[in-house]
A and B are shown apart, each in its own frame.
Chain A
Amino acid sequence: MSTETPAIEIHQLARKYGNTDAVNGLTLSVRAGQCYGFFGRNGAGKTTTIRCLLNLLKPTSGSVRVFGLDPARDEVAVKRRLAYVPDQVAFYPWMTVAQTLEYLASFRDRWNQQTQRELLDRFRLDPAKKVDGLSKGQKTQLALIGAICPEPDLLILDEPTSGLDPIVRREFIQTIIGAYQETAPGRRTVFVSTHLISEFEGLIDQFTIIENGRAALTLEADAAREKYKKIRARFAGEPPRIDVPGILNLRRVGRDLEIVANGASDEIIHRLNAHAPESVSTEALTLEDIFLVSLK
């Protein structure tokens, strides 16, 4: 493992609203250069956590560090190096697309004009158009362009695709992350919160599932797909009863048996083979399936 300072380090973070625990003992660490998924259902504590990273909220207890710094103490140093796109984006309605980007650029040390032109072109956004007249999807595209042109070391996206057309959203998140990583891949870290996981399947290096304010599961995506398996077997007669720790779900329909397992798939297949199945097949669960079974 690299000894480099993590882009984000959250340790035992807790944040209460009155008597309600929004975040309650969350720990996670994001390496520089990773694309990190922060998965959880609505109300699991995702936005509260992000607000603590941005010093928009003070933790009740525990700590957050961004690039090794405390965002409450070194707010400017932290914000200089990151960009954040909230789930609801807002702009000055009277400005045009070009004026909005110029305005955003005025707060930044650096601004990649070429990336701006390329993405306005890709998304067919007219620079002369008033922001007021943009669709919700176009406003999100504008916010994403504004976030990556300053070439931040960390890009924090909070539900970037919710409420958008399902066909376009996959493509444009891919385009944005591709453009973002292009300039200096090792230093471009993405932290994306979402409950629409299938759109991020191939993009995620590592993820944390947050539930009731704490980490329910943290894994590298490849390791997760290797561990969580769906095993199907068909038998000549009634399927056997098998009991192996690691079975999350078991369905028997006629001569078919379907098992969802967390690890232990070799052991399960070994046991199944002892009952002379007609066929056995295995497939990995997608990250979305893993999310669903872990929250059962």
Chain B
Amino acid sequence: MLLQINFKSGKPAYLQLVDQVKAAVASGGLRAGDSLPGIRPLAEDLRLNRNTVAKAYAELESQGVIETAPGKGCFVAGNNSPLKKEVRIKMLSDEIDAAIVQAHHLQIADDQFLDLVRKRLDYFQQQNDKHASL
């Protein structure tokens, strides 16, 4: 998996890492048990501070996306978010609300919005299938 940082996006570098790892897991680019690069080599590779990479990994771990095996590094976790289902649904609702607000301001009608959601879900499914067939 190729992680990259764009400072011009205005999004904190650690969050860019968190989102990229989560996206890779969701699209099958990373699977349960896959190992992540070590903190120091990744920091050197991306020209980041070690603190930034450590913060991203800590965040991913607290969200249940990755696990740390002492002395062995970080691995993608199985599907076991530490949060309760209601909490997970609430978190996702907040994200969906933000997308709905955006859709309104970009004049995207409801049916178009739903259509787009289906298309994006299909896209992630295709990515998963592609990775599974490799």
Q: Which residues of A contact B (CB under 8 A)?
A: 33-35, 170, 174-175, 177-178, 181-182, 185, 201-205, 222, 225-226, 229, 282-284, 286
Contact = CB atoms under 8 A, between A and B. Distances in A.
A10 to B, nearest CB: 22
B59 to A, nearest CB: 13
Query: 5 closest Cβ contacts across the A-B interface?
Result: A284-B10, A222-B12, A283-B8, A202-B48, A181-B50
Contacts of A181: 40, 49-51
Given A185-B54, A225-B7, A205 B49 contact: yes
Nearest to A284: B10
Given A178-B44, A222-B12, A283-B8, A205 B50 contact: no
22 contacts: A170-B47, A174-B43, A174-B44, A177-B50, A178-B43, A181-B49, A181-B50, A182-B50, A185-B51, A201-B7, A202-B5, A202-B47, A202-B49, A203-B47, A205-B52, A222-B14, A225-B7, A225-B12, A229-B10, A283-B8, A284-B8, A286-B7
Contacts of A35: 49, 51
Given A185-B54, A226-B12, A203 B7 contact: no
Contacts of A222: 12-14
Nearest to B46: A202
Interface string B3-19: 00101111111100000
A284 B9 contact: yes
A203 B44 contact: no
A123 to B, nearest CB: 14
Nearest to A228: B10
Interface residues of B, number: 20
Nearest to B54: A185
Contacts, number: 61
Interface string B29-48: 00000000000100110111
Contacts of B51: 33-35, 181, 185, 205
B94 to A, nearest CB: 19
Contacts of A225: 7, 10, 12
Given A202-B5, A202-B49, A282-B10, 17 more contacts: A34-B51, A170-B47, A174-B43, A175-B44, A181-B40, A181-B49, A202-B7, A202-B46, A203-B48, A203-B49, A205-B49, A205-B51, A205-B52, A226-B12, A283-B8, A284-B9, A286-B7
Contacts of B46: 202
A178 B40 contact: yes
Contact of A284 (B7, B40, B44, B47): B7
B50 A185 contact: yes
A259 to B, nearest CB: 15
B50 A178 contact: yes
A283 B9 contact: yes
Most buried by B among A177, A178, A182, A282: A178
Nearest to A229: B10
